[in-house]
Structure 1
Amino acid sequence: MGEAINPLKAWLERDGGLLRLRLARPKANIVDAAMIGALQQALGAHLGSPALRAVLLDAEGPHFSFGASVDEHMPEQCAQMLKTLHALVRQMLDSPVPILVAIRGQCLGGGLEVAAAGNLLFVAPDARLGQPEIRLGVFAPAASCLLPPRVGQSRAEELLFSGRSIDGAEAFRIGLADVLADDPEAAALKWYDEHLAALSASSLRFAVRAARCDRVPAIKQKLETVEAMYLEELMASHDAVEGLRAFLEKRSANWENR
């Protein structure tokens, strides 16, 4: 299927107009350092192509992604993990062409953060989307920045504070999903063919910049703030480290509320 970058498959189609990126480590498709690096490399290699009109990100297997690596969230690794994940998010936010994301199955944690950094989300009705980080005693920095502009402040807070997952149908109702489809990949390809394929790639890039010129800088500024909060304050707390350790040790957390 063209160029393979482990753990990501990347190839061009539609006469070079569409970059296909596929998370290729099912069933979990964990967003770890290797996956983040592969995504950054593929985007960096292709986003500058003058013929490119869009990116389509999807995943092999029944699930989009179970999220980030919990091991990499531990204090000794979390700074590097968070900085590289947020660099990927910024790279996606700065994409000169629309990023379409096709989601089926579980799309959780860091997986949803990566998806939400795209432009249009095509989601299966029975998909499950959520930010469960709070249940591990931490919070989702990128999602704290990406969800409010998508679904509104109160709905974003409800998802971030509860850690609950919602199905694709609810995601569509609240505006997190843009298109609801039994086959999200096919729906995204159809949308590209009907709406983008015949456009000037150059003019499309101006349209993307114009639509996002105020929103993207605000998200990036907030991301810098919450990243510092996570690393300098949250990870210095007892309960954040306890929650992560409890998850890895498959036991209940002993919260001390500090």
Structure 2
Amino acid sequence: MSEATSPLKVWLERDDGLLRLRLARPKANIVDAAMIGALQAALQAHLGATSLRAVLLDAEGPHFSFGASVEEHLPGQCAEMLKSLHALIRVMLDSPVPIMVAIRGQCLGGGLEVAAAGNLLFATADAKFGQPEIRLGVFAPAASCLLPPRIGQSRAEDLLWSGRSIDGADAHRIGLVDGLFDDPEAAALAWYDEHLAKLSASSLRFAVKAARGDLVEQIKQKLNTVEALYLGDLMASHDAVEGLQAFLEKRPANWENR
């Protein structure tokens, strides 16, 4: 895929110490099969570089991401889509260097799942965060695994079960994001320059592994269980398929509670 047609912009800076990834399909920056594949390919190509100290993921346009492709959630496509998204999440969880994420505007659904797989989130105060999947009759598998250890079980349940969105101020209050800035990209770069740029890249990798090893294994194990629940049980239910179809057809869902 050429750079002109790729949904992702990829480059290195800071003497090859910082990998830059930019979602480049504004304004929605949908996390579809092409975006997932591009992100995974870029990470796998660069995470092994011995000079790398961090990754910064951000997005073109006014919004980070509206989420995953609803069409790809329908039966016949959802298994491949979900497995590829979760493979990307696992690559991010296993990153040997910190992943910073700079967020503006909407950060919803699969977009928030990708962001939450990062380590340090920088956002604007008016950014919007949410997992609206339940309103379509499904649930957010990766977020069900990523949010509880990040913001606590009860706060994660609130977002996952209600489907509501919160702004950057609330996201900061509950620990979903690490700081609020007018320019989150610039803030992330400043954090890198102040705290990581002069470190040994080798020692930093050991520090990341020491801090995250057990947590990452727990999340990955739960992800396997939740993926099976989604594909084996949820997608066999009437309401899950009805909710997705109703969204695509722009009509109210006819819930049969089965």
Q: Supply the distance in 1 between the matched residues of 2:164 and 2:194 (Cα, whole angstroms).
A: 35
CA-to-partner distance for each residue in 1:13-37, whole Å, 9 max, x for gaps? 0000000000000000000000000
* Paired position in structure 2 for 1:112: 112
Distance in 1 separating the partners of 2:38 and 2:210 = 28
Whether contact under 8 Å (1:5, 1:38) holds in the other structure is no
Q: Runs of at least 4 residues of structure 1 off by over 2 A? A: none
Please say if 1:36 is aligned against 2:36: yes
Question: Secondary structure of the equivalent of 2:76?
Answer: helix
Please state whether the residue corresponding to 2:44 is helix, strand or coil.
helix
The CA distance in 1 between the partners of 2:123 and 2:170, in whole Å, is 11
1:5 and 1:221 map into 2 onto residues whose CA distance is 35
Equivalent in the alignment of 2:204: 204
Q: 1:212 to 1:5 in 2, by over 3 A?
A: farther
For residue 65 of structure 1, report the CA deviation from its aligned partner: 0.2
* Residue 88 (structure 1) aligns with: 88
2:178 counterpart residue number: 178
Equivalent position amino acid for 1:208 in 2: V
Q: Which runs of 5+ in 2 are unaligned?
A: none
2: CA distance between counterparts of 1:174 and 1:200? 32
**Cα distance change on mapping 1:180 and 1:162 into 2, 3 Å:** same
What is residue 139 of structure 2 aligned with on the other side?
139
Aligned to 1:51: 51
SS at match of 1:213: helix
Q: Please list the CA deviations of residues 184-213 of structure 1 after superposition, one character each: whole Å capped at 9, or x if unmatched.
A: 000000000000000000000000000001
| Percent identity over paired residues | 83
Query: How far apart are the structure 2 equivalents of 1:247 and 1:49?
Result: 43
Find the aligned partners of 1:41 and 1:236 in 2 and give their Cα distance.
Answer: 32
CA–CA separation in structure 2 for the residues paired with 1:66 and 1:75: 21
Q: Deviations over 1:104-161 (max 9, x none)?
A: 0000000000000000000110000000000000000000000000000000000000
Computed over aligned residues only, the root mean square deviation of the Cα atoms, in angstroms, reads 0.7
Query: Which deviations, in whole Å up to 9, do the C-alpha atoms of 1:82-108 show, x marking residues without a partner?
Result: 000000000000000000000000000
Aligned residues: 256
Q: Residue type matched to 1:249 in 2?
A: E
TM-score (normalizing by structure 2): 0.98
* Structure 2 SS opposite 1:138: coil
Counterpart in 1 of 2:6?
6
Q: Deviations over 1:211-245 (max 9, x none)?
A: 00110000000000000000000000000000000
